[in-house]
């Protein structure tokens, strides 16, 4: 079965986890995106091509890669069912995960868990139902279970199924999915999101012209630099709103917003409700 949808269809929902659960299909073109992509083929493996190198994703094992690689599924091997979890990179980078796992993924590795059956088909479907039901507390609990899944992957160990040569090739490949500079940009933002930063600050750090940086970032990540920074700040604000009783003004300043109104504007855009409404949804439980 060949999928004819646009490779950009994922970006209808760039700020949230996107769950897919279906029979895998062969893709007729490469695509790329700014999400971390978790794949779990159940029953049979599937094959991908990453910049021309074939990679086998084993059956019943969690695999993960950064979607900034140009990639496509090339052979479904009659796999009856596959789960795909698309994790926004700003959310992934805000999670308390093992440094080595994050480093390898942001350097372009494709990783597969050594342990089988870390996630069942039934659990995957349950997560999707809970995440999409509109309950913010359930959504956050699903995110916490995903964090535990990735921490288990680190605990049991993983292996790289994309060679160093292929990673090097992808980082210097002449198409928009090249992410040599994107990694440095994301690292800089992750270290400095809680203070005032400008595109000029970021451009100076990576030695790029600000205009080129903005164009390159949008081409790979499918969002502006400003929206990415606000998304990362909002992710941290969500955790503080649900887990602490700190005043909203303090939270706004702690995550890098210059005022409460800036937090409210970004939060309403990203989450669909105000910070107060978000906190109240947890207190009513």
**Distance in angstroms (rounded) separating the CA atoms of residues 247 and 90:** 24
State mean pLDDT over 125-133: 95
Contact 161, 56 (CB under 8 A): yes
The pLDDT score that the predictor gives to residue 171 is 47
The mean of the pLDDT values for the chain is: 87
pLDDT digits 0-9 by tens, 77-119:
999 999 999 999 989 988 999 999 998 998 889 999 999 999 9
State the CATH class of domain 2-168: mainly beta
Candidates 203, 191, 196; CA nearest to 258 is 196
The pLDDT score that the predictor gives to residue 2 is 37
pLDDT digits 0-9 by tens, 190-232:
999 999 999 999 999 999 999 999 998 888 888 899 999 999 9
Task: Give 207's Cβ-side CA count (13 Å radius).
Answer: 1
**Distance in angstroms (rounded) separating the CA atoms of residues 283 and 242:** 8
Per domain, the residue ranges of the chain are 2-168, 179-283
Q: 75 versus 135: which is more confidently predicted?
A: 75
Q: How confident is the model at residue 13 (pLDDT cuts 50, 70, 90)?
A: low
> What CATH superfamily is the domain 179-283?
Homeodomain-like (1.10.10.60)
65-69, 256-260, 274-278: least confident range: 65-69
Percent of the chain with pLDDT over 90: 64
pLDDT digits 0-9 by tens, 221-230:
888 999 999 9
1-5, 138-142, 236-240: least confident range: 1-5
| Strand 81-87 with 36-42, pairing | antiparallel
- The reply to whether 2-168 and 179-283 are identical in fold is no
The pLDDT score that the predictor gives to residue 174 is 39
Q: Which backbone phi and psi does 63 adopt, to 5 degrees?
A: -125, 150
**Distance in angstroms (rounded) separating the CA atoms of residues 174 and 123:** 39
b/e per residue 92-118 (b: at least 16 CB within 10 A)? bbbbebeeebbebbbebbbbbbeeeeb
């Amino acid at each position: 079965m060949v999928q004819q949808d646009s490779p950009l269809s994922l970006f209808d929902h760039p700020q949230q986890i996107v769950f897919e659960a279906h029979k895998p299909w062969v893709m007729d073109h490469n695509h790329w995106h700014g999400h971390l992509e978790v794949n779990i083929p159940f029953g049979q493996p599937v094959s991908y091509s990453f910049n021309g190198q074939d990679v086998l994703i084993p059956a019943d094992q969690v695999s993960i890669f950064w979607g900034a690689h140009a990639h496509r599924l090339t052979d479904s091997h009659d796999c009856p069912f596959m789960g795909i979890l698309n994790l926004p990179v700003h959310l992934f980078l805000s999670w308390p995960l093992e440094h080595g796992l994050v480093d390898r993924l942001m350097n372009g590795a494709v990783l597969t868990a050594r342990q089988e059956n870390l996630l069942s088909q039934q659990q995957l479907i349950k997560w999707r139902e809970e995440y999409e039901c509109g309950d913010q507390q359930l959504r956050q609990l699903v995110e916490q279970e995903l964090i535990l899944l990735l921490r288990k992957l680190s605990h049991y160990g993983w292996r790289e199924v994309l060679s160093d040569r292929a990673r090097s090739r992808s980082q210097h490949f002449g198409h928009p999915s090249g992410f040599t500079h994107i990694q440095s940009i994301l690292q800089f933002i992750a270290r400095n999101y809680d203070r005032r930063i400008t595109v000029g600050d970021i451009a100076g750090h990576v030695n790029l012209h600000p205009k080129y940086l903005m164009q390159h970032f949008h081409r790979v990540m499918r969002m502006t630099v400003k929206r990415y920074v606000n998304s990362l700040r909002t992710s941290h604000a969500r955790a503080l709103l649900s887990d602490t009783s700190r005043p909203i003004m303090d939270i706004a300043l702690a995550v890098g917003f210059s005022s409460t109104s800036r937090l409210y504007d970004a939060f309403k855009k990203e989450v669909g409700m105000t910070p107060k409404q978000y906190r109240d949804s947890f207190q009513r439980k």
